[in-house]
Amino acid sequence: MDFRVLGPIEAGPTAQVSGLGTPKQRALLSVLLLNANHIVSVNRLTGMLWDGPAPRSATANVYSYVAGVRRLLDSAGDAGRDRLITRMPGYLLRVRSDELDLSVFDRLATQGRAALRRSEHELAADCLSSALALWRGKPLEDVRVTPALVAPITALEGRRIDALNDLVQARLRMGLHKEVVGELRELVTTSPISELTWSQYMVALYRSGRKGEALGAYLDARRNLVSQTGVEPSTYLRRVHQAILADAPSTEVLEHCWRD
């Protein structure tokens, strides 16, 4: 079986992943997949599936949605009751790590980050590129997001940004600074208060012979940080800025751009 949450939620045989049924079934399966191999209580499920106070019928509805997900798994050639088991005070979804795209992403991202720290930059780039290729859109894209789902979805998006930053770092260390400028320009737009992303953008511009734009990027970063957080750039970002101002060797500037 394949289970996919890094985009529209999907489940089905490896060769034929199929979309899922009703909105509440998709939401329930989403919560179970985000907590794969852990018990999720009925109370927690009701809190995750409804926007406000759960209706009186919520517990009965959860039982119905569980039965529906089991039928979907059965129709996909899986034994629904063996996969989605009742375990007091709720339910547990059994998933092997190689069956869930999120687990594969985390494994590859961890391997890539470890390779990066060992200065194995090509291996790091390969692992991180493979990890990011698993993303098909926004996480749980076709699931109606309740307030309780906002935090886990935001956390997933944060993990993707971290992997992107690490991939950029590997490419910078491979000398591919010109190739990553465009990607970083998009990243600073989507993550306007990420000092790591801004520092990488500044370094990529500087190493591409665009010192003026690199210094301008620092001013943009400072403006975003002050307007959105009320805080001046940290010593970390100011250090990158000062190195560029001083026309430091590009390799030296890159060393300032490493995740602490």
Quick one: average pLDDT of 191-203?
93
Amino acid at 92: L
CA distances from 149 to 128, 153, 159, 182 (A): 26, 6, 16, 32
pLDDT of residue 260: 45
Q: Which two tokens stand for residue 44?
A: 């927690």
Residue 259 has pLDDT above 60, yes or no: no
Residue 63 has pLDDT above 70, yes or no: yes
Q: How confident is the model at residue 22 (pLDDT cuts 50, 70, 90)?
A: confident
pLDDT of residue 163: 96
Residue 15 has pLDDT above 60, yes or no: no
pLDDT of residue 16: 54
